[in-house]
Structure 1
Amino acid sequence: MDEIDCAVIGAGVVGLAIARALAMAGREVVILEAEGAIGTHTSARNSEVIHAGISYAPGSLKGRLCVEGKAALYAYCAERGIGHRRIGKLIVATHESELPELGRYIELGSAHGVTDLRLIDAAEAHAMEPEVRCVGALHSPSTGIVDSHGLMLGYLGDAERHGATLALRSPVVAGEATADGIVLQVGASADTRLRCRNVINAAGLGAQRVAGAIAGMPATLIPPLHFAVGHYFTLGRKSPFNRLVYPTGREGALRAHVTIDLGGQCKFGPDLGWRDGVDYRFDASRAPAFRDAIRRYYPGLRDDDLQPGYTGIRPRLAGPGSSMHNTATDFVIQGGSQHGVAGLVNLFGIESPGLTASLAIGEHVRQIVEQQAEAKR
């Protein structure tokens, strides 16, 4: 049986950031990825937004790690030449009743140290984005966009240069916590066994399944998983926007955000629905609802403008009716002091802003691993 120091399960953007942090700290790292390529699920099917950190409950891991990760991510991308742009975002109110919600974002941002937000009136918003109709807006200048695949390749390259190894098509099918480490059974036929001093479960949509497959992990500490599907429609012509545009409004309403990728392609989404598993089918019948939601702030949208884009699945810990400001929707990062399995770190519910927070999450997990190793001495 092979013995290793650290096994990172999952080669999405967060798993790769964790592997990078551990390898750069001098640890032996193997990255176990069930698919045939890195980042094929949540990391590849999102908005590619660098979030400012203004939508999360005070004191939440999401808020703290988003703000820390944003600063680190901008510096990393600039240093490594990874595609990104700090284009800013407008959160727009289309009715007077929505204006107080803009102030709520300022409060949430301030709780995590975001101090560059600015309320603007309809005239200034129109000057910044002439196609947008609103009665007022909030300008977030530190919001941006990034090439998520380029970012993942950067993280993987750093990890490999410091000795990490990537093993594709290597699903973890079972495990057992023993006195000498965590034994993982790897591969579709479970023909490979690894004894690991540390296991980091960053399997994203599969994190609950992986945790449940490790004998000794208390089932009561594995939170439920809700598969939240989001559709993205693309705009079939040149983007009329220079920034991201997010409408405010009631929780659960179809808000149809505007995002722009580095190539200038404009897309709208995601919406929020629920599925029973990883199901990327696109429901084109959502187009009329998208058009109605978009026209609240962009009346120039034509009937034939929207084209089916793609869907993404987010690993939500709270199901229908949950608020984005609810602490039940926060990241869950468990070490041995929470669940009692020495050497195991579980990451659950790592959805948005996971990409923005990835470097900060990597450092956070590295600290947990170091603290657990120190406690053993």
Structure 2
Amino acid sequence: MNKIDCVVIGAGVIGLAVARALAREGREVVVLEAEPAFGQHTSSRNSEVIHAGMHYPAGSMKALHCLRGQRLLYAYCRERAIAHRQLGKLIVAADESDMPGLVALQEKALVNGVTNLTWMDRRVLAELEPDLQAYGALHSPTTGIIDSHALMVSLLADAEAAGAQLVLQSRVTGGRETEDGMVLFVDGEEVLAKTVVNASGLTAHVLAAKMRGVPHETIPRVRYVRGVYFALNVRHRFRHLIYPLPEPGGLGTHLTLDLAGNARFGPDVEWINQVDYTVDPGRVDVCYQNIRRWWPGLPSGALAATYCGIRPKVINVDKPEGDFLIQGLEGHGIRGLINLFGIESPGLTACLSIADEVLRRCRQYW
């Protein structure tokens, strides 16, 4: 049986960040990825936004890791010359009825430690974004965008430079607890690992249920939200990210820009029961309605459904918004196992902070 110090399951941005942190600590690290390349799911099917942290419930893991993660990520991008841009974001009130929600959002931001939001009225908005029609807006100066693929390439390079190894097309189908660590079943073979980090994203809860010894009552209920993105095929003049008020399951259908200045809208929200990347072109009709609340000049025929992403949401009665769940010994009673559940947005922003938290928890096993 192969014996390994640390196994990270999943080579998305979280798994790669965790592998980097563990390897830089001097541990032997192997990353097992079922797909033929890294970052094939949530990590590459998102808005590529560096979030500021105002949207998440006070005291949540999302709020904590988003704020800390943003600082770490900007510093890392500068250090490694990873393409990014701090464009800023406008969260808009399309009409006066949206203002109470915008006020509540600012109050939440202050509780979370986001103190740099500023109010903008119609006059200022008209000068800043001439095509935007809004009653008012909150401006977030530290929201930005990033080349997520370049980030993952850099994280992997750092991890490999510290001795970590990525093994592709290696699917973990289960495991069992032993006195010497966790035995993992990998494509018909067995691997013994002292420390296992389950960073398998969309299927983390499914894999945890296949680990013998993990109490099933400790595995959270997870639901999927599929979000379609719509490309804009006409010229535009927007210079900021434009967000409406958040909606249940997401932050609303918003405008994001890529590093080349191209615009896309999304994601919308569709609750689904299994991983399915089918894009329904008909969803664009509702998208037009939502966007025209604040951009009435959006031409007909200007949007095309392009791709979708899926977000895994931990569903708890007391936390209906969903939160990150970093579960260690105290959660399931198994020494050497860390489960990462519900790592959706703002996971990209929070990746380095989450990796530090996982490293801290892993230290108790060594």
TM > 0.5: yes
The equivalent residue for 2:236 is 239
Query: For 2:54, what is the secondary structure of its paired residue?
Result: coil
Q: Deviations over 1:102-140 (max 9, x none)?
A: 222222222222111111111112211111000000000
1:284-321 deviation line (CA, Å, top 9, x unaligned): 111111111110000110111001211111111239xx
Quote the residue 2:322 is aligned against.
329
Paired amino acid for 2:34: A
1:353 is aligned, of 328, 337, 346, to 346
Question: Which of residues 340, 358, 361 in structure 2 aligns to 1:368?
Answer: 361
Give the SS at the match of 1:329: coil
Paired with 1:204 and 1:170, the residues of 2 have a C-alpha distance of: 15
Q: Matched residue of 2:43: which SS?
A: coil
**Alpha-carbon distance, 1:66 to partner:** 0.3
CA distance in 1, matches of 2:236, 2:9: 38
- State the TM-score, normalizing by the size of structure 1: 0.94
2:256 corresponds in structure 1 to 259
Counting aligned pairs with the same residue, the percent is: 49
The 3-state SS of whatever aligns with 1:76 is helix
Q: 1:296 aligned to 2:293?
A: yes
| Aligned positions of 1:104-253 closer than 5 A | 104-187=104-187, 190=188, 192-248=189-245, 251=248
Q: 1:44 to 1:139 in 2, by over 3 A?
A: same
Superimposed CA distance per residue, residues 307-354 of structure 1 (whole angstroms, 9 cap, x where no aligned partner): 1211111111239xx9xx946501000001211010000000000000
Aligned AA (1:203): S
Structure 2: gaps (5+ residues): none
RMSD: 1.6
C-alpha contact (below 8 Å) 1:254/1:290 kept by paired residues: no
- SS of match in other structure, 2:44: coil
Q: Distance in 2 between matches of 1:248 and 1:109?
A: 13
Contact 2:7 2:197 (8 Å CA) reproduced? yes
Specify the code of the residue in structure 2 equivalent to 1:117.
Answer: L
Note the C-alpha offset of 1:53: 0.3
Aligned to 1:344: 337
Aligned partner of 2:32 in structure 1 is: 32
Aligned length: 366
> Contact conserved, 2:245 with 2:251, CA < 8 A, in 1?
no
Quick check: 2:230–2:303 contact (8 Å CA) kept in 1?
yes
Question: Is residue 91–residue 138 contact of structure 1 (8 Å, CA) maintained in 2?
Answer: yes
Cα distance in 2 for partners of 1:4, 1:261 equals: 40
CA drift of 1:237 comes to 2.0
The residue identity in structure 1 corresponding to 2:225 is A
Assess if the C-alpha contact under 8 Å between 2:244 and 2:251 holds in 1: no
Whether 2:269 is the aligned partner of 1:278: answer: no
| Residues 252/22 of structure 1: CA separation in 2 closer, same or farther (3 Å cut) | closer
Summarize deviations over 1:265-292 as a string: whole Å, max 9, x none: 1001001002221111111111111111
TM (norm. structure 2) is 0.97
Instruction: Write the letter of the residue equivalent to 2:243.
Output: Y
The more displaced of 20-29 and 119-128 is 119-128
Stretches of structure 1 that go unaligned for 5 or more consecutive residues are none
**Amino acid across the alignment from 2:334:** V
Is 1:51–1:143's contact at 8 Å kept on the other side of the alignment?
Answer: yes
Q: Is the Cα–Cα contact under 8 Å of residues 34 and 168 in structure 1 kept in the other structure?
A: yes
The corresponding residue for 2:8 is 8
Instruction: Between 1-10 and 97-106, report the one with greater CA deviation.
Output: 97-106
Task: Determine helix, strand or coil for the equivalent of 1:278.
Answer: coil
Offset at residue 100 of structure 1 (A): 1.7
Q: For the Cα contact (< 8 Å) 2:249–2:321, is it kept in 1?
A: no
Deviates more, 1:230-239 or 1:45-54: 230-239
Distance 1:225 1:204 in 2: 11
Aligned partners of 1:57 and 1:327 also within 8 Å? no
Q: Report if the CA contact (8 A) 1:19-1:164 is conserved.
A: yes
1:114 counterpart SS class:
coil
Following the alignment from structure 1 to structure 2, what is the Cα–Cα distance between the partners of residues 239 and 29?
A: 46
* Higher mean C-alpha deviation, range 239-248 or range 139-148: 239-248
SS at match of 1:43: helix
Tell me: CA distance 1:250–1:2, structure 2 relative to 1, closer, same or farther (3 Å): closer
The one-letter amino acid paired with 2:264 is K
* Residues 248-276 of structure 1: per-residue CA shift (max 9 Å, x gap): 26546993200001111100100100222
Alpha-carbon separation, structure 1, partners of 2:249 and 2:325: 23
Cα pair 2:313 2:323 within 8 Å, conserved: no
Measured after TM superposition, the shift of residue 240 of structure 1 is 2.3
Instruction: Tell me how far 1:89 sits from its aligned partner.
Output: 0.2
Give the Cα–Cα distance (whole angstroms) in 1 for the partners of residues 249 and 212 of structure 2. Answer: 38
Aligned residue for 2:288, secondary structure, equals: helix
| Residue matched to 2:73 | 73
> Which amino acid is the alignment partner of residue 297 of structure 2?
G
